[in-house]
Structure 1
Amino acid sequence: MRPEAVVFDIGNVLIEWQPERFYDSEIGEARRREMFAEVDLHGMNDQVDRGHPFRETIYAAAEDYPKWREEIRLWHDRWIEMACPVIDHSVRLLRALRGKGVPVFALSNFGIESFAYAETQYPFLGEFDRRYISGHMAVIKPDAEIYRLLEEDCGVPAGALLFADDRIDNIRAAEARGWQAHLFTGPEGWAARLVEAGLLSAEEAA
Structure 2
Amino acid sequence: MEMNKVIKQNLVDQVLVQLQSMIQSEKYHLGDKLPTETELMKLLDVGRSTIREAIKTLVYMGLVEVRQGDGTYIRSFKVEEDPLETKLLKADGQEMNEVIQILDIQISGLAAQRRTEKDLEKIARHLEKRNQYLSEGNIPKYLHSDLDFHYAICEASHNSVLIDVYSSIHHLFNQMLDVLVQDEKDYYRENNEVHKNLYLAIANQNPEEAKMWAEVNIKLRNTPSI
Q: Same fold judged by TM-score > 0.5?
A: no
The structure with more helix, counted as a fraction of residues: 2
The TM-score bracket by the shorter chain reads under 0.3
TM-score, with length taken from structure 2: 0.23
- Larger RCO, structures 1/2 (Cα 8 Å, 6+ apart): 1
The structure with more strand, counted as a fraction of residues: 1
Structure of higher CA gyration radius:
2
TM-score, with length taken from structure 1: 0.24
